[in-house]
Structure 1
Amino acid sequence: MEREPLSVVVTTFDNADTIGTCLGSVAFADDVVVLDSGSRDATRDIAARLGARVEVQPFAGYSAQKQAAIDLARHRWVLLLDSDEALTPAAAARIRAVLQAPQAAGYVLLRREWVFWRWQPDRARLNHYVRLFDRTRARMSGHEVHESVVVDGPVQRLDAVIDHYGERDIEGRVEKANRYSSLQVRDRHGRAPRFLRARMVVYPTVAFLRYYFWRGHWRGGWAGFVAARVHAFYAFLKYAKLYELRRSGSESNRPPFETESGQD
């Protein structure tokens, strides 16, 4: 039985160290689209050498950039990957099998995380996202961060794992926490939750306990502990920045001094 043809779409920016692994894991696809936002390294050259159609567009935001990549796909069925993700061989085989006779409009795939210097422990909870979908019945959510695929129709879970190489050191993870928390403030502008001060105090501890114990990252030794602490810091930043915006969002609340042009 012939399977449905598949387009793989990937957005990139300076991902020369991971794009080869990413595209190599989807060599079975009928169409591969890489939408680059102006890489200064060899990302585009590597992608083209591996047979991808490479397009360039200024970065429009995570959700909008991914939607633009999806719109470039030639086929109805799309697999959406980040440039630092790769399918396991078993996942590639499972996707090929399900596309012989799709029974849903979208499929949720599991994602295994590289945590600083090791893979997350086998018994820790895996993140899961809709990544395989019929693009005529799906769209990106439009969020500034933590964007997702919204499917109009039934969604099923697929026993397929994506390996996510992500941030390979603490500095990268902290930088991402800072950047993503600022984007979440933009997402929530004008609709900040109540009790922000209480959330700043309580929620980081809740986030740590949930990540470390409930999701099982305590099994990952010190890597899991550090990741849980950074996750708690991210939870704090989200609410602290919303509180800052509420307190100093107007010109009247700015500091009563000026700096000279060109000086800090």
Structure 2
Amino acid sequence: MREPLNVVVTTLNNAATLEQCLASVAWADDIVLLDSGSSDATLAIAAKYGARIFTEPFKGYSAQKQSAIDKAAHRWVLLLDADEALAPPARAAIEAALVDPKVAGFRLPRREQVFWTFNHRGVRLNAHLRLFDRQRVRMNAIPVHAAPDTREPVVVLAAAEFVHHGEPDIHTKVSKINAYSTGLVAHKRQRRQRFLALRLTLYPAFFFLRQYIGKRWFLDGWAGFINAVSSAYYVFLKYAKLYEATRQPPTP
């Protein structure tokens, strides 16, 4: 018999994608949804799928997700964003993995929406730690990109793919680039990034090549090219903003 599974989702006005998210995990033993003040149909959709609904003011990505995880009824948690959904084959892979699991968690491959399309089957997907024992894994404190973290062993569960509907158009991508790059400045200043000039001048081009060629984003056609260029610009912008933060403003 497998370990019971708790799905955990945090929301704010996610009615457009939440239905697909919760439908993909309706088989789970418990669903926790922590909302931070939705005014659309988010809570009605959550109630439709029998979620245990909680409401708290937004405390930051890491603290909000950890608060939701702490409300789980079971040790094993599947953490999803409201714009993510499990692919149909993932259920069998997850249920098999939860029969006497020997690790602290599992990384699941994520297939991205790339504007008007989705990652080609040949693209090398990033795998994220989303299925884990909540007693052995906690959220890290990285702003914007907060994620579950542990020093204990985790493995990739290749058959348990999930889909991210996070960037449906270029406008959304560019808005995120601007917001996320600003949100990371204070964190990077605390870490005292070395070789900032080299990172600013060389790393964006390296990142473009790593993603477009190494990760095979070229298989996504023009969407992949635009995604690679804009992602390299994100890398440039976060180091440019960090450099700007180290400069003293001119004296009038």
Q: Name the counterpart of 1:236.
A: 236
Q: Name the counterpart of 2:2.
A: 3
Q: Name the counterpart of 1:33.
A: 32
Is residue 189 from structure 1 mapped to residue 192 from structure 2 by the alignment? no
SS state at 1:114 partner = strand
Q: Name the counterpart of 2:176.
A: 176
Moved more, 184-193 or 114-123: 184-193
2:95 partner letter: R
CA RMSD, Structure 1 to Structure 2 (Å) = 1.4
Q: Name the counterpart of 2:137.
A: 138
Task: Work out whether residues 34 and 54 of structure 1, in 8 Å CA contact, stay in contact via their aligned partners in 2.
Answer: yes
Task: Work out whether residues 78 and 132 of structure 1, in 8 Å CA contact, stay in contact via their aligned partners in 2.
Answer: yes
Structure 2 unaligned blocks of 5 or more? none
1:110 partner letter: P
Q: Name the counterpart of 2:83.
A: 84
* TM-score, length of structure 2 as denominator length: 0.95
Q: Name the counterpart of 2:165.
A: 165
Distance in 1 (CA, whole Å) between partners of 2:215 and 2:21 is 26
Distance in 1 (CA, whole Å) between partners of 2:82 and 2:251 is 42
Q: 1:22 to 1:254 in 2, by over 3 A?
A: farther
SS state at 1:147 partner = coil
Q: Name the counterpart of 2:125.
A: 126
Task: Work out whether residues 192 and 242 of structure 1, in 8 Å CA contact, stay in contact via their aligned partners in 2.
Answer: no
Distance in 2 (CA, whole Å) between partners of 1:153 and 1:201 is 36
Moved more, 237-246 or 147-156: 147-156
Task: Work out whether residues 78 and 134 of structure 1, in 8 Å CA contact, stay in contact via their aligned partners in 2.
Answer: yes
2:20 partner letter: T
Q: Name the counterpart of 1:217.
A: 217
Q: How many residues align?
A: 251
Q: 1:255 to 1:39 in 2, by over 3 A?
A: farther
Q: Name the counterpart of 1:45.
A: 44
User: How much does 1:179 deviate?
Assistant: 1.2
Q: Structure 1 vs Structure 2: percent identity of aligned residues?
A: 53
Q: Which runs of 4+ in 1 moved over 6 A?
A: none
Moved more, 122-131 or 200-209: 200-209
Q: Name the counterpart of 1:262.
A: none
